[in-house]
Chains A and B, each alone.
Chain A
Amino acid sequence: MSHFVLGYFAVLIAASCLAAYFGRRPVFMLLFVLTLASALAGLFGGVPALRFLTGAAAVLALAAGISYAFREFLAIVFGGEAERELKNAPLTAIFGLFVIAVYAIAAVFAPIIAPFGQAEVVSSAFAPADAHMLLGADQLGRDMFSRIIFGARNSVGIALMATLLAFFFGALGGLIAAVRGGVIDTLIGRIADVIMSVPSLIFSLLMLSIFGTSIVVIVIVVAVIYSPRVFRLTRAVAGNIVVMDYIEAARLRGEGDWYLIRREILPNATAPLVAEFGLEFCFVFLLISGLSFLGLGIQPPTADWGSMVRENATLISFGELTPLIPAAAIALLTVAVNFVVDWMLWRSSGLKE
Chain B
Amino acid sequence: MGDVTKLIARRLVYGALTLLVVSILIFFAVELLPGDIAQAVLGQGATKETVAALREQMGLDQPAPVRYLHWLAGAVHGDFGVSLISGDRVSAVIGPRFLNTLFLASYAAVIAVPFAITLGILVALLRNSIFDRVANVVTLTAISSPEFFLGYILILFFAVKTSAFPAIASIGSHMSFGDLLYRSFLPALTLVLVVTAHMMRMTRAAIISLLASPYIEMARLKGVSPWRVIVRHALPNAWAPIINVVALNLAYLITGVVLVEVVFVYPGIGQLLVDAVSKRDFPIVQACCLIFAATFILLNLAADVGAILTNPRLRHPK
Contact = CB atoms under 8 A, between A and B. Distances in A.
B146 A290 contact: yes
B169 to A, nearest CB: 14
Interface in A300-323: 306, 309-310, 313, 316-319, 321, 323
B90 interface: no
A296 interface: yes
B165 interface: no
A197 B18 contact: yes
Contacts of B144: 282, 286, 331, 334-335, 338
A201 B292 CA distance: 10
A193 B18 contact: yes
A72 B191 CA distance: 40
A129 to B, nearest CB: 18
A104 interface: no
Contact of A317 (B167, B278, B296): B167
A199 B254 contact: yes
A202 B141 contact: no
Interface residues of B, number: 54
A194 B18 contact: yes
Interface in A29-47: 29-30, 33
B23 to A, nearest CB: 10
Contacts of A289: 146
Contact of A202 (B33, B143, B289): B289
Interface string A207-248: 111110000000000000000000000000000000000000
A338 B292 CA distance: 28
Contact of B293 (A193, A199, A209): A199
A295 to B, nearest CB: 6
Nearest to B136: A342
A208 B146 CA distance: 20
A309 B134 contact: no
Contacts of A26: 129-130
Given A198-B22, A290-B148, A205 B285 contact: yes
A193 B296 CA distance: 13
Nearest to B26: A206
A194 B296 CA distance: 12
Contact of B145 (A201, A209, A331): A331
A200 interface: yes
A293 B258 CA distance: 11
Contact of B146 (A29, A209, A211, A293): A293
Contacts of A211: 32
B132 to A, nearest CB: 10
A60 to B, nearest CB: 10
Contact of A319 (B141, B153, B161, B282): B161
B137 A92 contact: yes
A277 interface: no
Interface string B142-179: 01111111001101100111000001000000000000
B128 A205 contact: no
A346 to B, nearest CB: 11
Contacts of B147: 290
B25 A294 contact: no
Contacts of A30: 130-131, 134
Nearest to A290: B259
A313 to B, nearest CB: 7
Contact of A197 (B129, B140, B300): B300
A107 interface: no
A27 interface: yes
A209 B141 CA distance: 31
Contacts of B251: 199
Contacts of B25: 194, 198
A311 to B, nearest CB: 12
B280 interface: yes
15 contacts: A194-B22, A198-B22, A199-B251, A199-B296, A203-B289, A209-B280, A289-B146, A294-B259, A296-B274, A316-B152, A319-B160, A324-B149, A330-B149, A334-B144, A335-B140
Interface of A: 26-27, 29-30, 33, 92, 193-194, 197-203, 205-211, 282, 286, 289-290, 293-296, 306, 309-310, 313, 316-319, 321, 323-324, 327-328, 330-331, 334-335, 338-339, 342, 353
Given A27-B130, A30-B134, A197-B300, 5 more contacts: A193-B18, A197-B22, A197-B297, A198-B296, A199-B254
